[in-house]
Structure 1
C-alpha cells in the first residue's frame, strides 16, 4: 500500500518554487503517486481596491502566467513515470489550496515557503502557514531562496542502520 496516491503541489511559477516541485515529483516517484499542480490566481488581493473594473484587462495576462506555471511542472516531470494533472483556480491562495486538496482527494501537500520571520511575516502573512493551519492532510514545506543550504533531492540517500535499535531495544554498534 502506497503512503501517498495524490500529491498536491501549489506553484507560483518562479524558479525558486521549482525546489518544492522537485520534492513533490521525487515523492510521487517513490510512492507511485500522481502530482496535481495548482496555480491560484490571487483575486482576493484585488477585492475592494477599485481594481475590479480593470480585472478583465489583466485577467488574460494572469491566466497566461498561470498556464505557464503549471506547464513548467509538467516539463519538470518529463522523463519520469509521474503523471501530472494541472489546474488553475481563482481566489484566496490559502483557502483555494486547502479546498483543492480536499476536493481532489490529495493525501499530501508539498509547497514552498520563503521562511519569512518577524515583521515581514506579521505584515505579509504566509500562504504556507495558512495552509498548514487549515489543511486536513499533511503539509510538507520546502524552504525556498538563496539562504537555503543543505542537500538537494538528488543527493538524498536512505539512512544506514548505524545507531538503530533492534527489537529488544538495544543499540547496534
Structure 2
C-alpha cells in the first residue's frame, strides 16, 4: 500500500477539521494509522491565548482534550491514532515531525486558523507543501471535500501524461481502491501547441499543428486503453482523452464535470521534470481546483533536500516505484 503513516495537523479551527474525513477515508483504505498533531506556541510567546505560563498550561490541557475528542471519533471508525503536541513554529514543526516519524502522507486544508484569504493557500500550508517532501492531500475548506456521511471515495480522476510517473500514480490509486466500489477515470489532455506571434499563423502552419495534435491523440488513445486494461481487476477504470490549450484548466474542469471525489496526480509532470518540489501543472491544479487533490511525491530525499536548500544535485533517473520496480505492475 502507498501510505502507512498519515499526518493530520490540526490547529483546533473548523477549517482545519474539514480534512479529517478525507484523512480517515484514506487511512481506512490503506490500512494506515493517523498522527494527530497540534503545534503550540512556546510559553514565552505572549498572545491572546498564552498571556502567562499558567494560561499556557491551561491552553495545553484544552488542546489535549480537543485531540482526545477527535481521536475517539477516528478510532471508532477502526483507525489507529497517535497524538502529539509540540512547540514552535507550525510549518517547521510539521516538517520536523514528518522526518522523525516516517510520515509518508500529509493531509491538510488549504487554510487554517488564519482563515480563508485572497491567496491560494495559508502560509503554513504553503510552507508544508514546499518543505515536507512528502506526498500530500490538500483539501480546500468550504468546497467539495469528502462529505462527512461518506466513508470512501467513489470516483477518482487520475491525471495521466504518458510518463512513468503518472503510471506509477495510477498503479498506486488502483491498488489503494482494490475491492472498493469505485470508478477510476484516467484522464490525459493533449496540449495544442502554442505559436505566439504578432501575425496569424498560416494555413500550412495550422495544418502542421493539427497533424501534430492528431499524432499525439492516436498515441494517447492506445496508451490509455492499455493502462486501463492493466489496472482493471475488480474495479472500474475508464480512460478519457481530451484536447485543450490549457492542460491544467481542463484537468480540474473535467474533474468537476465528472463529479469526482478526488484528483490524484504526480508532483512532477512529463514537461517540468524534477527541478522543483512540485511541477507547474501540479501547482496550478492544487491552486485552482475546488476538489481535494492527492499529490504523490516521487523524488528521492537527497534531491528534495537539495531543492529546499538551493543546493545542486546530480541529475539522475529516479522513480520511487512499486517494490518490484515496475510502473506497469
- TM-score interval w.r.t. the shorter chain? 0.7 to 0.9
Give matches, 1:92-171, under 5 Å: 92-114=89-111, 115-118=116-119, 126-145=123-142, 148-149=143-144, 151-152=146-147, 154=150, 156-157=153-154, 158-159=182-183, 165-167=224-226
Deviation (angstroms), 1:102: 0.8
Higher relative contact order (CA 8 A, sep 6+): 1
Deviation (angstroms), 1:143: 1.4
- In the superposition, relative to structure 1, how do residues 44 and 102 fare at CA in structure 2: closer, same or farther (>3 Å)? farther
Deviation (angstroms), 1:161: 6.2
Is 1:86 equivalent to 2:145 in the alignment? no
Indicate the SS of the match to 1:110. strand
CA distance in 2, matches of 1:88, 1:15: 18
Structure 1 unaligned blocks of 5 or more: none
Is 1:74 equivalent to 2:71 in the alignment? yes
- 8 Å CA contact 2:22–2:146 kept in 1: the answer is no
Count residues in correspondence.
163
| TM-score for both structures, normalised by structure 1 | 0.77
CA distance in 2, matches of 1:168, 1:22: 30
What is the root-mean-square deviation in Å for CA atoms of aligned residues?
A: 3.4
CA distance in 1, matches of 2:33, 2:145: 26
Indicate the SS of the match to 1:117. coil
- 8 Å CA contact 2:8–2:37 kept in 1: the answer is yes
- 8 Å CA contact 2:105–2:137 kept in 1: the answer is yes
CA distance in 2, matches of 1:46, 1:136: 29
Partner of 2:3: 4
CA distance in 1, matches of 2:227, 2:129: 37
Q: Which runs of 4+ in 1 moved over 4 A?
A: 160-164, 168-173
| TM-score for both structures, normalised by structure 2 | 0.43
Deviation (angstroms), 1:74: 0.7
CA distance in 1, matches of 2:227, 2:136: 34
CA distance in 2, matches of 1:34, 1:142: 19
Worse-matched range after superposition: 54-63 or 79-88: 54-63
